[in-house]
Amino acid sequence: MTAVVSAIGEATGMKPDDKVIGLGVVDAAKAKAQAYMTALLATTSPDLRHMLQTHLQDALTEHEHAITLAVKKGWVKPNLAADQMVKMAVQEAHPLLH
């Protein structure tokens, strides 16, 4: 993941900060949990289902820790109104568009 973050930084001329890296961890944890859930729903083997459930629980815990940190740091603001979220996203994207 660090190679991808570094490549993005080089391409945009920006050095990734804690927020970019932290939100990348949140996204990776989310994708991991989704992959385990998809696999779990697709299998009928009891042994494989048990193993996937265990890994899914670990992935959910990882995501919980990552999102809790993101909220604590102010990178994610879950209680904002929708129009405020859009305004914030536009403000954050503005430097990338110019």
Instruction: Give the model's pLDDT for residue 48.
Output: 96
Domain limits, the chain:
2-97
Over pLDDT 70: what percentage of the chain?
84
Q: Each residue of 41-73: pLDDT tens digit?
A: 999 999 999 999 999 999 999 999 999 999 999
Token pair 């859009």 in the structure block, residue:
86
Q: What is the DSSP letter of 78?
A: T
Radius of gyration of the chain (CA): 17
- The answer to whether residues 53 and 73 touch, using CB atoms and an 8 Å cutoff, is no
**For the chain, where are the alpha helices, taking DSSP H only?**
2-12, 18-42, 46-73, 82-97
| Between 11 and 63, the higher pLDDT residue | 63
